[in-house]
Amino acid sequence: MEANAKKAIETYFPSQYEAGTLSWEVANIDLPENYHYLEDNIIMYNTLVIQECLDCKGDECKELWHAWDLSEKEDQYIEYVRDEVASFLEVN
């Protein structure tokens, strides 16, 4: 799931990724330094989230609810991530 999400970012948003305006990060919520994601109710379990990071405050975020449903369908999963990231970038 992580590899295909990263693949979608790098494939469909290369200029934003290379410029650093779009990044890919993995946050292990089992580690104490990432508990704030749980405490801030950004996430409650392992999931895929798009998060806006202005001054690293993460003001806006969107959980990709269908990520797990599509995780075994690589092409559909990548398209889903692409579409959700594109939509999020347009709104934010």
pTM of the predicted model, to two decimals? 0.81
pLDDT in tens, 30-48: 899 988 877 776 676 777 8
Given phi > 0 = left and psi -120 to 50 = alpha, else beta, which region is 49? beta
Residue among 29, 88, 82 at smallest CA distance from 62? 88
Kindly report the length of the chain: 92
Query: 58: which DSSP letter?
Result: -
pLDDT of residue 84: 92
Q: Is the pLDDT of residue 92 over 90?
A: no
Take residue 60 and report the two structure tokens written for it: 């806006």
